[in-house]
Chains A and B, each alone.
Chain A
Amino acid sequence: MTDIKKLQKVASQIRRDVVRMVYAAKSGHPGGPLGCAELFSALYFKVLKHNPKNFSLDGIGEDLFFLSNGHLSAGWYSALARSGYFDLTELSTFRKIDSRLQGHPATEEGLPGVRVASGSLGQGLSVACGAALAKKLNGDNHLVYCLMGDGEQQEGQIWESAMFAAGRKIDNLIGIIDYNGQQIDGAVDDVMPLGDLKAKWEAFGWNVIEMNGNDMQEVLDTLEQAKLLCGKEQPVLILMHTEMGQGVDFMMGTHEWHGKPPNDEQFEQAMSQLEETLGDY
């Protein structure tokens, strides 16, 4: 099987996991992670140099991934479990009492794969900057990735860290924006227009590239390109165009599914559209 086919199968299974987890919890955010399934698959099954079986919080000698938009937790947990950080069956505990799979990612319960709590938006890129600086101090030439939301770009702290990373030439850092154009209250353009996001990041001093986040080949190629752009005294940003709710027709093209679970009928409908490729948890 080619890499692409394999990674597409992982993405499909991540989507099924996301919908099943949110449905079982009767709460959560399905839209975002459905749109980012290709990215999670590509990172955790191909791009990241990491040690799922031997997780260390320090992550020395590994690539690091930070999820700044913590509400995409269901998709991230699925990728973590399926790449071996913890047992698949634990996905069934998502958002339930006594679980390590908190509604938003946290370290307190010791879930392997998570290195900092996120959920209150705008903070992940700052943390990623610090982790990237630590790598430089340690002479560790691995990379740091950070996924953010597009609505999250409305947070001021994002721009503090954008300024810092470029000003301090943090060139072992790849930021990724899930550019799906939707947020809780509606279309990003209606809630608070971001303007020319590419021009803004470029003006802050980042090397900006774009990709269709729902095209696996393009995701792989662009991540490869981003890695090549590292080490050139400039941080790298990927504007990742995605469709919120990708893969489930009635969840696409709307902000409605940002943060609500499907009912029984909608769940069956969603399941019928998402191929079970690796076996449900």
Chain B
Amino acid sequence: MKEYTYTEKKDTRSGFGAGLMELGAKNTNVVGLCADLTGSLVMTEFKKTYPDRFFQVGIAEANMMGIAAGLTIGGKIPFTGTFANFSTGRVYDQIRQSIAYSEKNVKICASHAGITLGEDGATHQMLEDIGMMRMLPNMTVIVPCDHNQTRAATIAIADHEGPVYLRFGRPKVPNFTNPDEPFEIGKAITLQEGSDVSIFACGHMVWQALEAAKELFGQGVLAEVINVHTIKPLDKKSILQSVRKTGCAVTAEEHQVNGGLGDTIAHLLATDKPLPMEMVAVQDRFGESGKPDELMEKYGLTASNIVEKCLKVMRRK
């Protein structure tokens, strides 16, 4: 069994900030837009270093999406930054018409996604964004798991022609992936090989999945852990290959049980390889205020929840 360790906890949003800074230096077409959350999005350094390529639009997210679409006409590669809530639900029609349908090369970068936004409560805890974004034709949806991977994904999406939704978060979480590993859009990463159950996870839940696999190993269960960082396009091949071996699947995501990674994989399995499957996700309810760890616990998004679902799904084989 592979050992995963980390030297420090870091927030994924600062991975975005670091990636954006690297892009700023190497590609003058990269521009940043923000709707009054520059510090929260860790875009302050980009703003200071490249003031001509940074646009503060104020609290006007709909306008920001339209401006971003317009900037692509002229060859710019706009990265919009705001919370996941204001990056998706608030501006769905603007994204749909001016960006996705118009095939514009806009990178919608969304921080503070999920329940780990914490104390601000349910108004800001976006748990439906993966669903909304993956329903849009032409849209690529990426949910990296830690600081290093978010940095690498930020850099990678600049070279991808077309709209991208990049989802990351607020809290400091284990930073365990290799900082030198390049990010390949649409290629799931097998972190742990196993033969008894496949765990497909994205975002903050990837570390929880690794912890779950460790615990299961202690019980004699070999869990395969796959980091499905790209929800769309889905790496069907890797997923099917894994479940053919294990015969059952558990998905884990910091998102509603409806519309997200779990639904995406359920669709694949139902149409290609029907198998027992369980989902770790928020159960069709809104969040609430609290500390990130307390909320993950209360809403059933921990390693032990994954363990429980793995044991359950294996009984269903």
Interface residues of A (CB under 8 A from B): 57-60, 64, 106-108, 115-120, 122-135, 137-138, 140, 156-157, 160-161, 163-164, 167-168
* Contact assessment for B75 and A160 in the assembled complex, using a CB-CB cutoff below 8 Å: no
Selected from B57, B74, B94, the residue in CB contact (under 8 A) with A60 is B74
Q: Is B58 an interface residue (CB 8 A)?
A: yes
Contact status B58-A164, CB under 8 Å: yes
Provide the residues of chain B in CB contact with A135, threshold 8 Å: 74
In the complex, 17 of the A-B residue pairs with CB atoms within 8 angstroms, ordered by the A residue number, are: A107-B102, A108-B101, A116-B70, A117-B97, A117-B101, A123-B66, A123-B94, A123-B97, A123-B98, A124-B66, A126-B65, A129-B66, A130-B71, A134-B73, A156-B62, A164-B57, A164-B60
CB distance from B240 to the nearest CB of A (A): 31
Compute how far the CA of A131 lies from the CA of B78 in the bound complex, rounded to whole angstroms. 12
Chain B interface helix/strand/loop/mixed: helix
| B98 touching A127, Cβ below 8 Å | yes
B22 — which chain A residues lie within 8 A by C-beta? none
Specify which chain B residues have a CB less than 8 angstroms from the CB of A131 in the assembled complex.
Answer: 70-71, 73-74
Question: How many Å from the CB of B179 to the closest CB on chain A?
Answer: 31
A158 to B114, CA, bound (A): 30
CB pair B73–A57 under 8 Å, yes or no, is: yes
| CB-based contact B97/A130 at 8 Å | no
Question: Chain A's nearest CB lies how many Å from the CB of B132?
Answer: 16
**A106 surroundings in chain B (CB, below 8 A):** 101-102
CA–CA, A233 to B76, complex, Å?
A: 22
Q: Does B104 contact A (CB under 8 A)?
A: yes
Which residues of chain A are within 8 angstroms of B102 by Cβ–Cβ distance? 106-108, 116-117
Expressed in whole angstroms, the minimum distance between the Cβ of A174 and any Cβ of chain B is 15
Nearest to A120 among chain B residues (CB) is B97
Query: Is there an interface contact between B70 and A129, defined as CB atoms closer than 8 Å?
Result: yes
Q: Is the CB of B66 within 8 A of A161?
A: yes
Q: In the complex, what distance in Å separates the CA atom of A160 from the CA atom of B97?
A: 17
- Is B93's CB within 8 Å of the partner chain A? yes
Taking beta carbons and an 8 Å cutoff, which residues of B are in contact with A? 31, 52-53, 55, 57-58, 60, 62-76, 78, 93-94, 96-98, 101-104
Q: State in angstroms the CA–CA spacing of A157 and B35 once bound together.
A: 14
Asked if B31 contacts A137 (CB within 8 A), the reply is yes
8 Å CB contact of B75 from A58, A107, A123, A133: A58
Considering the complex, give the chain B residue whose CB is closest to the CB of A131: B70
Q: Provided the pairs A106-B101, A130-B67 are in contact, do residues A160 and B62 lie with their beta carbons within 8 angstroms?
A: yes
Compute how far the CA of A191 lies from the CA of B278 in the bound complex, rounded to whole angstroms.
51
Most B-side CB within 10 Å, residue of A59, A106, A135, A160: A160
Once the chains bind, are A59 and B74 in contact (CB under 8 Å)? Answer: yes
Q: Decide: A161 near B98, CB < 8 A? Known: A131-B73, A134-B75, A138-B75.
A: no
Q: Which residues of B contact A124 (CB under 8 A)?
A: 66
Chain B residues whose C-beta falls within 8 Å of the C-beta of A58 in the assembled complex: 73-75
Q: A120-B93, A120-B97 are in contact. Are A163 and B74 (CB under 8 A)?
A: no
Partner of A133 from the list B62, B70, B96, B101 (CB cut-off 8 Å) is B70
Contact B68 A130 (CB under 8 A): yes
List of B residues within 8 angstroms of A134 by Cβ: 70-76
Q: Are B97 and A133 in contact (CB under 8 A)?
A: no
Q: Are B66 and A126 in contact (CB under 8 A)?
A: yes
> Which residue of B has the minimal Cβ distance to A162?
B63
